[in-house]
């Protein structure tokens, strides 16, 4: 195999929680009368919760908001988001994703998560993947979110492999940039694939099997 491990982003790669993120931010923005749409939402992919809020507030033109108020708004969004995550179940894990993960593991590859989300463990549990991955690096063990490579470098360190031995899989342009900044090769799906941000720009998740084997 070309790699020893694959490090997957979570939201928008393993599961479609990116839509739940959008709906929760939209609800928060609407309550404040702030314009928010899917184009702006694409800029939030891979970006931490507080940095996402700052991007949304570019459209806010009211009186200055205190740090306390900003934390309150981000908490409000996270509460909406967590509420929707309770609907997630193993049925939300697509068979294409699960079969691809199983096939990579059967080839001897280690599998890791590299996500900016502080909700990672909860989401993996809801999907029935609570103890599936060999390594989980997430928003709780980093100080800089994507496009900084920290979350992927920590995952590689936990795996005990060099970045050149690991393939990163991303749906966010910021995530692909993070992978490249850390010295990883990157395979993209979704938004990042359309933007041509990866070394491999896939039209479906199962293509990872071929990329890893070449
Ligand atoms: C990333 C998402 O995975 O996690 C971002 O792509 C999100 O949109 C970030 O802002 C942080 O997520 P959470 O769950 O900690 O608010
Ligand atoms: Mg993502």
Give me the CATH number covering residue 155: 3.40.50.1000
For 109-144, write each residue's pLDDT tens digit: 999 999 999 999 999 999 999 999 999 999 999 999
| Domain C-terminal end among 70, 85, 100 | 85
| Whether 37 is catalytic | no
**Known catalytic membership, residue 9:** yes
From 22, 116, 120, the mutation candidate for ligand 1 (largest count of ligand atoms within 8 A of CB) is 116
Q: Give the span between the Cα atoms of 8 and 115, in whole angstroms.
A: 8
Does the pLDDT of residue 11 top 90, yes or no? Answer: yes
**What pLDDT was estimated at residue 201?**
98
pLDDT of residue 214: 78
Query: Which pTM value belongs to this model?
Result: 0.95
DSSP string, 154-171: HHHHHHT--GGGEEEEES
pLDDT value, residue 49:
96
- What backbone phi and psi angles, to 5 degrees, belong to 50? -70, -35
Looking at the CA of 120, which ligand is closest?
A: 1
Q: Angle between the 67-85 and 17-31 helix axes, to the nearest 10 degrees?
A: 140
Alpha-carbon gap, residue 183 to 196, rounded angstroms: 18
Q: Which residues 6+ apart lie within 8 Å of 213 measured at CB?
A: 1, 2, 107
Ligand 1 atom, smallest distance to 10 CA = 3
Structural domain ending residue among the three candidates 85, 109, 134: 85
Which of 85, 116, 135 is the last residue in one of the domains? 85
Give the model confidence (pLDDT) of 66-110 as tens digits.
Answer: 999 999 999 999 999 999 999 999 999 999 999 999 999 999 999
**What residues does ligand 1 touch, defined as CB less than 6 Å away?**
10-11, 21, 44-49, 52, 78, 115-119, 139, 172
């Amino acid at each position: 195999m070309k790699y020893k491990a694959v490090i997957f982003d979570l939201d928008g790669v393993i599961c479609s929680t990116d839509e739940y993120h959008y709906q929760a931010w939209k609800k928060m923005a609407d309550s404040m009368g702030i314009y928010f749409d899917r184009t702006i939402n694409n800029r939030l992919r891979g970006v931490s919760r507080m940095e996402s809020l700052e991007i949304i507030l570019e459209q806010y033109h009211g009186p200055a908001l205190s740090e306390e108020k900003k934390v309150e708004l981000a908490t409000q969004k996270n509460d909406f988001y967590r509420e929707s995550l309770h609907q997630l179940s193993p049925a939300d894990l697509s068979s294409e994703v699960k079969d691809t993960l199983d096939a990579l593991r059967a080839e001897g590859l280690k599998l890791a998560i590299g996500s900016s989300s502080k909700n990672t463990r909860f989401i993996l549990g809801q999907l029935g993947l609570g103890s599936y991955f060999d390594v989980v690096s997430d928003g709780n063990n980093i100080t800089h979110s994507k496009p900084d490579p920290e979350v992927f470098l920590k995952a590689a360190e936990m795996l005990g492999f060099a970045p050149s031995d690991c393939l990163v899989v991303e749906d966010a342009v910021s995530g692909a940039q993070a992978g490249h900044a850390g010295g990883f090769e990157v395979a993209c799906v979704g938004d990042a694939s359309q933007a041509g941000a990866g070394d491999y720009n896939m039209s479906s998740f199962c293509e990872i099997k071929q990329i890893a084997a070449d």
